[in-house]
Structure 1
Amino acid sequence: MNRLSRLFLLACGLSALSPAHAQTVTLPDGALRGSTQDGVTSYKGIPFAAPPVGAWRWRPPQPVEPWQGERDATSFGADCAQVAFGPPSARPKSEDCLFLNIWRPAQSEPGRKLPVMVWIYGGAFLFGSGADPTYSGAQFARQGVMLITINYRLGRFGFFAFPALSKEHPDEPKGNYAYMDQIAALKWVRRNVAAFGGDPENVTIFGESAGGVSVHTLLTSPAARGLFNKAIIESGGGRDGTLTGRPMSKDNADPNYPVSAQTTGINFARRQKIEGTDPAALANLRALPADQILDGGLETDGKDGARIYPGPIVDGTIVTQTAEQAYRKGQQTVVPLVIGSNSAEVTGGFLAASSKDELFSQFKSGKQAAMAAYDPAGDRPLAELLTMAITDRVWAEPARLTAAAYAAKGAPAYIYRFSYVADAMRDRFKEGAPHASELPFVFDTLQSRPGSQPTAKDEAVARTMNRYWANFARTGKPDGEGMPTWQAYTPAGDMIMDFRADGTAVGEADPRKARLDATEKADGSVIPR
């Protein structure tokens, strides 16, 4: 499977609430007028940074220009410029996209500060939006939790390196503009959330797929220290891989990444007929229209024509090392953590085998041990085994590695597996829950999907997951009264919460332990790097 195909696997799953009456909040930047409906007040399209256009393209996010009067915050702002990898969206797309959205309960106890959750969407760092209807915060607000969704720059707008950029403004961080946007949004939350009734000392960040990778980065970036108090990672991996960071230049070359980020930038400029690496070349790059910057989302490496990913960069300031490197050294921010993955993330890619023998021969633990862990009776089809092995290799085992790193630092870490498939999708997804399928359950937004007709069991699973996530945001523990106990992970206990295929939630010792043990010892070349 080629790299372009892999990106589609990292995708992740909007509805505006019709205003009933206005709600106004005054910030240092100006006044915002939101709206209230069905017990939930929302504020949409709030700028947390200046538009990153013109001379601000490929610069850190800049302060918002204050506005006069009352700003209408009843409609979403534009999505960030992006390539359409999924169904078309009617929402406008623009470089001017650094907006966030807030949902809070319309009424709360006087003097009570609301716990805050900040959502970071997935989409392979190529597409996505904080305005997606799946991510509505209405149900979290009804549980007494403030939900905030953010936008961040995508594709080549979000990750770009070029020699003249490295020399320009040498005191500024370079390359990882998407991460800089996320950090700027968290700083905005810390400064302003109290005005909306939120608690700046009780902030939970969470994200899925590329959003989960982002949470790993925020947990291990010096630039994000002190900006949040808890974290949730959904299907975000945890080991070194395609989306964890490649070298900025040849000076910090990595054998796993033969093409540096700066070389990629030079190759892109040449495709646009821009020669040289001086300030004039950079000015010409900044003058290109957005569709030329997007350029299909991927890169050509300049050697054999292979398409490569213009993603996160080890820049030395925002990303100083990969998350796995930080976890192995115990250098992460230590906060309560929830982490997990779905039972059948993808059915292909990442790992290739035309026979069981070829598959099990790739395990460093030994072919016989792998067979015993994955196919003890010898009757599982190869396709099912590939799905299991890929899911374990890319998501489930790295989640366990991350949880172990937190347990070693004395922080509570809770692992989950999501195995439930909505009743209407069971004929399509027979092997288990695919990548991103947990999202409408986490947000309890099953009704947001066009044509969706969730069953009573679907809705019960959604209420349960949404409640666990909200409990964690409130207290740092997902448990709640009348809910199955979710024990923290320890290497000895190996406990997880399994959201099972039958719709029940069961805290148990991880039934995949033998598989994950075999995967942990797998040849590193099989793990995407």
Structure 2
Amino acid sequence: MFLESLIAALMTTSPSVQSGPQIAVAQGRIQGTAAAGVTAFQNLPYAAPPVGPLRWKPPTPPAAWTDVRDATRPGAICVQAPANGDPGVGPLPMSEDCLTLNVWAPENAAGPLPVMLWIHGGGYNNGSGTAGLYDGSNLARRGVVVVTVNYRLGRLGFFDHPALAAERLPDEPAGNYGVMDQIAALEWVRDNIGQFGGDPAKVTIFGESAGGVAVTQLMIAPGARGLFHRAVVQSGLGRQRSALLDQDRPGHPSAQSLGVAFARSVQLAGATADDLRALPAERTLSPMPAFYTDNLIVDGRVLTEDVVEAFAAGHQAPVPLILGTNSAEFWWIRPSDAGAYGRTDDLMTDAEYEALVAAYGGQGGYDTSVVSDLIFNEPARHLARLHAGAGHSTWLYRFDVVPESNPEPSGGATHASERPYVFDNLHTVGRPLQERDARAATDMANYWTDFAKTGDPNGPGRVDWPAMTGDLLLEFTNDGPIAKPVPQAERLDLIEQFYDRIRP
């Protein structure tokens, strides 16, 4: 880890930088690259490295520099376990010194442009803003400034322990360090994005999976209010229940209880805060934190309630919102599988279960699709209804584009498969695609960027995307976008009744 941190440090400032576009941000001058009408600046620190005494502390401002900072290469990814080939993970090195962001902007753009800040997924355990999949060039060519961010992951980003609590200042936020990082990145954008031609009063946050969850969390986070003005949630769950910071509740240990159990697993029973901070970063990776239990925390300050409760009470940011899911999200997970996702239906009554099996046309259909509907499809519809019902502009989508080269027997568009279409980066897929895929990518990137520009995804020459006023959505298909009623609504209605019973 020391060597990796040293490499990361050598990738920052350099007095020998000679060419390329230069601008000044609050911390000093930076130099990036320019190609095909787009300027790019990478590895820009938005917070101080969260190392040593700053591990498990809220982010603090980055230090200034005097030399021109080399912003031509990606920075280190945050500490994480291998992600089994996920293209949403950028290149090594890996380091705790990872709180950086990347900016793509049209070259010589006239006037302040809308900003799109991407929050990567990966279960809050993996991913980075440096992945080639998230290169913002093709979106920037549509007249927006694109920002991608790294934020602390796993136990370095979502963790608490009584020893850490004992040293905290009164009212110091805790637990949700990764979310605090996201807010710090938005503050950096507010203060600096004008230097890149961006408009700090027209910021769209968008993210997928855990990044979609992050978008909904930022919509209810008091510290993020006013830092963004539109939001896009791609496969961002919605019905999840978080751990409390220091209070256990039935079936859900607190973040501190989970922290004590982890410390015991690495022979640190009775640990002090110094003991925990001396733990090598790699030791925090095993056992792997679970997204549903370890990484979702209502701490009382950064996040004061769960997302669905906040939306139901009208506490979310009153901004235009796009939500959507893919047609075969978790097609490989069965309700009989171990783990939080497979157990989602465990609280169903016999009558609820039998009604749903019938609605799916039998046990086979239920086993194949109910987890995706429980985790993604019904929650997205529910949040969309709540947001629209509060009088806010809302659009719902379903992604069902499946390349002919798809190697999976998924029967639809699997989880995360929409990402290269949204970024119009089909070259990152790694297998042959067709003209219909290129058309779908063009459509999605245009809808997304027009939404960032105007707060409405619609634009000339495209199928009209109806607002969420009558359970209508836009389905992205192999044959193009289609406006239609929400598919399989009767199944979702039964799931909604189930959720209303267990979480009134």
Q: SS in structure 2 opposite 1:522? A: helix
2:147 aligned with 1:148? yes
Q: Deviations over 1:402-435 (max 9, x none)?
A: 111111111111000001111210x523410010
Question: Which residue of the partner structure matches residue 303 of structure 1?
Answer: none
Q: Deviations over 1:193-240 (max 9, x none)?
A: 011110000000011111111111101111211110000000011113
From 40, 43, 46, the equivalent of 1:42 is: 40
CA contact (8 A) 2:101 2:150 kept: yes
The 5 A counterparts of 1:36-185 are: 36-87=34-85, 90-109=91-110, 112-168=111-167, 169-185=169-185
Task: Measure the CA separation in 2 of the matches of 1:351 and 1:275.
Answer: 36
CA contact (8 A) 1:104 1:138 kept: yes
CA contact (8 A) 2:332 2:410 kept: no
2:292 aligned with 1:290? no
CA 350–119 in structure 1, closer or farther in 2 if over 3 Å, else same: farther
Task: Give the deviation of 1:525 after TM superposition.
Answer: 9.0
Q: Deviations over 1:121-150 (max 9, x none)?
A: 000110101011111101111100111000
Q: TM-score, normalised by structure 2?
A: 0.89
Question: Which residue of the partner structure matches residue 255 of structure 1?
Answer: 250
CA contact (8 A) 2:237 2:379 kept: yes
Q: SS in structure 2 opposite 1:283? A: helix
Q: SS in structure 2 opposite 1:270? A: helix
Task: Measure the CA separation in 1 of the matches of 2:155 and 2:468.
Answer: 38
CA contact (8 A) 2:356 2:366 kept: no
Task: Measure the CA separation in 1 of the matches of 2:292 and 2:231.
Answer: 30
Task: Measure the CA separation in 1 of the matches of 2:389 and 2:126.
Answer: 35
Question: Which residue of the partner structure matches residue 14 of structure 1?
Answer: none
Question: Which residue of the partner structure matches residue 483 of structure 1?
Answer: 462
CA 140–28 in structure 1, closer or farther in 2 if over 3 Å, else same: same
CA 482–330 in structure 1, closer or farther in 2 if over 3 Å, else same: same
2:411 aligned with 1:431? yes
Task: Measure the CA separation in 2 of the matches of 1:335 and 1:308.
Answer: 27
CA 90–337 in structure 1, closer or farther in 2 if over 3 Å, else same: closer
Task: Measure the CA separation in 2 of the matches of 1:521 and 1:308.
Answer: 22
Task: Measure the CA separation in 1 of the matches of 2:357 and 2:256.
Answer: 43
Question: Which residue of the partner structure matches residue 212 of structure 1?
Answer: 212
Greater shift, 216-225 or 89-98, is seen at: 89-98
Task: Give the deviation of 1:175 after TM superposition.
Answer: 0.7
Question: Which residue of the partner structure matches residue 356 of structure 2?
Answer: 370
CA 512–22 in structure 1, closer or farther in 2 if over 3 Å, else same: same
CA 311–516 in structure 1, closer or farther in 2 if over 3 Å, else same: same
Q: SS in structure 1 opposite 2:180? A: helix
Task: Give the deviation of 1:517 after TM superposition.
Answer: 1.1
From 265, 270, 274, the equivalent of 1:276 is: 270
Task: Give the deviation of 1:371 after TM superposition.
Answer: 5.1
Task: Give the deviation of 1:87 after TM superposition.
Answer: 2.3
Aligned-residue identity in percent:
42
Question: Which residue of the partner structure matches residue 296 of structure 2?
Answer: 312
Question: Which residue of the partner structure matches residue 334 of structure 1?
Answer: 318
Greater shift, 508-517 or 321-330, is seen at: 508-517
2:479 aligned with 1:503? yes
Question: Which residue of the partner structure matches residue 6 of structure 1?
Answer: none
Task: Give the deviation of 1:167 after TM superposition.
Answer: 2.6
Task: Measure the CA separation in 2 of the matches of 1:39 and 1:25.
Answer: 17
Task: Measure the CA separation in 1 of the matches of 2:274 and 2:359.
Answer: 56
2:497 aligned with 1:521? yes
Question: Which residue of the partner structure matches residue 399 of structure 1?
Answer: 380
Task: Measure the CA separation in 1 of the matches of 2:276 and 2:233.
Answer: 35
Q: Deviations over 1:440-463 (max 9, x none)?
A: 0111111023x4332111111111
CA 363–511 in structure 1, closer or farther in 2 if over 3 Å, else same: farther
CA 266–432 in structure 1, closer or farther in 2 if over 3 Å, else same: same
Q: SS in structure 1 opposite 2:213? A: helix
CA contact (8 A) 2:396 2:472 kept: yes
Question: Which residue of the partner structure matches residue 393 of structure 2?
Answer: 412
Q: SS in structure 2 opposite 1:94? A: coil
CA contact (8 A) 1:235 1:342 kept: yes
Q: Supply the RMSD in Å over aligned alpha carbons.
A: 2.4
CA contact (8 A) 1:345 1:387 kept: no
From 423, 428, 435, the equivalent of 1:448 is: 428
Question: Which residue of the partner structure matches residue 3 of structure 1?
Answer: none
Opposite residue 477 of structure 1, the aligned amino acid is: D
Task: Measure the CA separation in 1 of the matches of 2:188 and 2:85.
Answer: 31
Question: Which residue of the partner structure matches residue 188 of structure 1?
Answer: 188
CA 90–413 in structure 1, closer or farther in 2 if over 3 Å, else same: closer
Question: Which residue of the partner structure matches residue 229 of structure 2?
Answer: 229
Task: Give the deviation of 1:511 after TM superposition.
Answer: 2.7
CA contact (8 A) 1:40 1:142 kept: yes
From 411, 422, 431, the equivalent of 2:403 is: 422
Task: Measure the CA separation in 2 of the matches of 1:360 and 1:384.
Answer: 17
Q: SS in structure 2 opposite 1:205? A: strand
Q: SS in structure 1 opposite 2:405? A: helix
Q: Which has the higher contact order (CA 8 A, sep 6+)?
A: 1
Task: Measure the CA separation in 1 of the matches of 2:446 and 2:354.
Answer: 42
CA contact (8 A) 2:104 2:147 kept: yes
Q: SS in structure 1 opposite 2:444? A: helix
CA contact (8 A) 1:162 1:266 kept: yes
Q: Deviations over 1:342-365 (max 9, x none)?
A: 001012447239xxxxx9994787
CA 230–350 in structure 1, closer or farther in 2 if over 3 Å, else same: farther
Q: SS in structure 1 opposite 2:452? A: helix
Task: Measure the CA separation in 2 of the matches of 1:234 and 1:138.
Answer: 20
Task: Measure the CA separation in 2 of the matches of 1:139 and 1:512.
Answer: 34
Q: SS in structure 1 opposite 2:20? A: strand
Q: Deviations over 1:49-85 (max 9, x none)?
A: 0100000000011111100021010101100011113
Task: Measure the CA separation in 2 of the matches of 1:336 and 1:462.
Answer: 22
Opposite residue 367 of structure 2, the aligned amino acid is: L
Greater shift, 228-237 or 389-398, is seen at: 389-398
Task: Measure the CA separation in 2 of the matches of 1:420 and 1:196.
Answer: 34
CA contact (8 A) 2:324 2:380 kept: yes
Unaligned runs of 5+ in 1: 1-18, 300-306, 354-358
CA contact (8 A) 1:407 1:489 kept: yes
Question: Which residue of the partner structure matches residue 473 of structure 1?
Answer: 452
Task: Measure the CA separation in 2 of the matches of 1:339 and 1:364.
Answer: 32
Q: SS in structure 1 opposite 2:283? A: helix
Opposite residue 496 of structure 2, the aligned amino acid is: E
Opposite residue 100 of structure 1, the aligned amino acid is: L
Q: SS in structure 2 opposite 1:417? A: strand
Opposite residue 239 of structure 2, the aligned amino acid is: R
Q: SS in structure 1 opposite 2:21? A: strand
